[in-house]
Structure 1
């Protein structure tokens, strides 16, 4: 009954679910762009470099049309940050902080960029540690209630904005973890029925304000796996461009228990006990391409590699990732614009940077993205 109600809404130009039949066209636009990390940190005092109007103009002038804004919900709350947050405090919205997010949205819209708002940290879940969650989104009703409250707030704020300009990416990289506050505790995919329950609840909270709102759900298992349990809903799905991790997160301390003792990445080539090649990528993305052909909109919300991956290896691998996605009509967003994954100031030691208005531009990476 719920599924029938959900699939009935949002039936404008962005309708995402169609009868199951081979379809060449993606039901989501082939957006290309960047993740902007202005509100990525749970602590506002720890935020990254601020995105400026000029940055957004560069993106537009370089041919990009999309920005994803991963938000940590505590970044726009009022509470005593000297101690762990209490469940009742997750409702204490800081209007001034929300207005800063709104200013970024408006600037992006001014330059013709679609904005995807994403809860990178939601009440009761984040793929990363670094903030003590008071409960578990997947098992605790108070966490789900708070999750829906936040999405209803954002939907209400943008209820009169076209789906061509804004979308809502429910939750970054879902996983079931034994201890929500221990990043290295045992994890597994979220059970499909549990993910479906959470996605429907949040979507209903959004569609309550605007029946044509465009909603996207990240893939299961940290964004890597298609969620068939959501395929009949009018919700797009977001994959990742991080496979294999030995290429994308080489020596990254948050992703590897022993980052200094890893086999050297090659593309293509033998790395440890695996031979890495385009065939691996073709197999990885086949379920996503099948999902798109099934009539579900697909986009790659995050992709790229950390700055310790040798640049020639990174570009060889990333060229294959982008070619597979692009040739199947699937857009992408680099993590990030400015910083260790970005096209500006990445800190790579093996790049001949070009000076760009005081920033260090990785022109080869930019051109790779532009060609996709």
Structure 2
């Protein structure tokens, strides 16, 4: 299956079954944040799929003891039914796994280093594989979101075990695997590849963060930089800023540039080109987007160029995110935030 053919233009459903405390959590959140009306809106825009992030603690039953939380699993079932009704495919993304730590620290990630957490991770995928074995090819599994592995070795071992675990139940399910360092395109080359035609590899594209996350209230490093960046345009003082803050180099400065333009996007995507050319494997971009503190016209221009370059490579993508979450295409009342962005994303 050519992945791009069926998963070309999608959107993330962030903030519903993942990161929900950062959104409008509270009584009835799961029942109201995403409903069939939202799925109908997304389908009406011309999307062909959604990426559905789910955090482990929503489905685990207190301390990893089975059975899993059936009432919450039924929200996933419901979403699959809505998407099937409205002609959308689904990527089921385990957005946070047991023990998972975000960010590139110096200590091993407990998700990968602790066998108890590894077993919990595998148990979740065993459950999903059994639960959805008969659903057909309209559902894809994504093992975990934005892994960070300071050892550079443990994730390769764990992901191969996870693929084998799923294959012991379901030989046909397409599985997405992301690279280290929060699904960076720069680390695709570090992945141990499996000879499985139904494994597709995955990266996220927010580079440069100085533009896509500008003035982000949740990011101390970007907030301190504190400048509005345009597209196309300059990123003044980026190198000087990184020189003053070597602690931010890994996150912000693995490839530091001071001009924000289409050529910069192409520089990053050359790593994707090398991966597909020399491995023969398929790629997918599970997240990309621009924060709502950026100028709307700049966001539209950047997204348009990213899509053009991804389409030229036959790499499908899902925008982050549908609703709120600082990157939302709609607000809490489903009002479109930037109509031009919808047109660029979905051609309508």
TM-score, normalised via structure 2 length: 0.82
Task: Select which of 258, 265, 276 maps to 1:281.
Answer: 265
- Report the equivalent of 1:17: none
Judged with a 3 Å threshold, the aligned counterparts in structure 2 of structure 1 residues 63 and 119 are, in CA distance, closer, same or farther, namely: same
Matched, 1:341 2:327: yes
TM-score, normalised via structure 1 length: 0.77
Indicate the SS of the match to 1:306.
Answer: coil
RMSD across aligned positions (CA): 2.5
Contact 1:72 1:120 in 2 (8 A): yes
- Report the equivalent of 1:330: 315
* Structure 1 CA distance for aligned equivalents of residues 203 and 297 of structure 2: 24
- Structure 2 runs not aligned, ≥5 long: 104-108, 238-257
Contact 1:174 1:219 in 2 (8 A): yes
Q: Across the two proteins, how many residue pairs are aligned to each other?
A: 312
Structure showing the higher helix proportion among its residues: 2
Judged with a 3 Å threshold, the aligned counterparts in structure 2 of structure 1 residues 232 and 78 are, in CA distance, closer, same or farther, namely: closer
**Equivalences for 1:213-252 in 2 at 5 Å?**
213-225=173-185, 226-228=187-189, 229-234=191-196, 235-252=199-216
Judged with a 3 Å threshold, the aligned counterparts in structure 2 of structure 1 residues 103 and 30 are, in CA distance, closer, same or farther, namely: closer
- Report the equivalent of 1:197: 157
* Structure 1 CA distance for aligned equivalents of residues 207 and 174 of structure 2: 27
* Structure 1 CA distance for aligned equivalents of residues 102 and 334 of structure 2: 34
Task: Select which of 147, 154, 160 maps to 2:134.
Answer: 160
Matched, 1:61 2:44: yes
**Equivalences for 1:1-372 in 2 at 5 Å?**
13=1, 29-37=6-14, 38-41=16-19, 45=26, 47=29, 49-79=32-62, 86=63, 89=64, 91-127=66-102, 136-163=110-137, 165-176=138-149, 188=150, 191=152, 193-225=153-185, 226-228=187-189, 229-234=191-196, 235-257=199-221, 259=223, 261-273=225-237, 274-293=258-277, 294-339=279-324, 340-345=326-331, 359-371=335-347
* Structure 1 CA distance for aligned equivalents of residues 176 and 222 of structure 2: 34
Residue 170 of structure 1, CA deviation = 0.5
* Structure 2 CA distance for aligned equivalents of residues 116 and 156 of structure 1: 16
Q: Could you give the per-residue CA deviations for residues 292-326 of structure 1, whole angstroms, max 9, x where no partner exists?
A: 33321211111111111111221222221111111
Indicate the SS of the match to 1:125.
Answer: coil
- Structure 1 runs not aligned, ≥5 long: 1-12, 15-25, 80-85, 129-134, 177-187, 347-356
Which structure 1 residue ranges, 4+ long, deviate > 4 Å from structure 2?
42-49
